[in-house]
Structure 1
Amino acid sequence: MLYKGSCHCGKVAFEFKAELTGTVRCNCSICSRKGALLCAIPHHTLRVLAWGDDLGIYTFGGHAIAHRFCRTCGIHPFAEDVREGGERSAYVNIHCVADLDPSTLQVFDFDGRAV
């Protein structure tokens, strides 16, 4: 299924194809503060439609994940695996996906603090 999403102000917009059956709630220091529910998808399936200078980046710790955010409204719509080679992933914050009710999806807890 094709999903579309954006930040709050719409300056960062994206789409992706996936079969969503569940989401991940990560307890790492940034995800827990954002309150994000994530779906992991192959990086190549994420298509950023609009960003310009509004797409910011934040990394911490091992700098393995690029947490993307809108510089205008501050919303974090997705993150990206930045490792070289192999299968890269993108992690979409499903709270930013249009026409999707997160309460209909099973939530899996991930211990990101231990990574």
Structure 2
Amino acid sequence: MRVCVPTAGGGGLDDRVGEHFGRVPTYTIYDTDTGEVEVFENVSEHMGGAGLPAELLAQSRVDVVLCSGLGRRALALLNESGIEVCTGASGTVREAIQAWQSGKLPGAEACARHLFHDHGG
């Protein structure tokens, strides 16, 4: 299973969970089967590139996203791509994955601060 965490930089499993799903500088993907860690830059339209974050993650064959929070549009796009979303992640990528594996992260809910506008991520 490929687990993605929006991150603040290129620190891999020791990097911090990013605060804003669509505007983080990087995404860290951890493969639970192989232990492989991949970090890639956020090149979505939010960061001056093309495409939405959900599209980029779907292309990277992500199964689950663990994030601090996200807007309802991003949540809908991830769900449409068949990607499970869990919110409430914090700390390092490693800590977020451990919390998820322990069943401590709730199912996805759109972030309250993003409910007032239709925001892509």
Shared fold (TM-score, shorter chain, > 0.5)? no
**Interval of TM-score (by shorter of Structure 1 and Structure 2):** under 0.3
Which has the larger strand fraction?
1
TM-score of the aligned structures, taking structure 1 as reference length: 0.26
Larger radius of gyration: 1
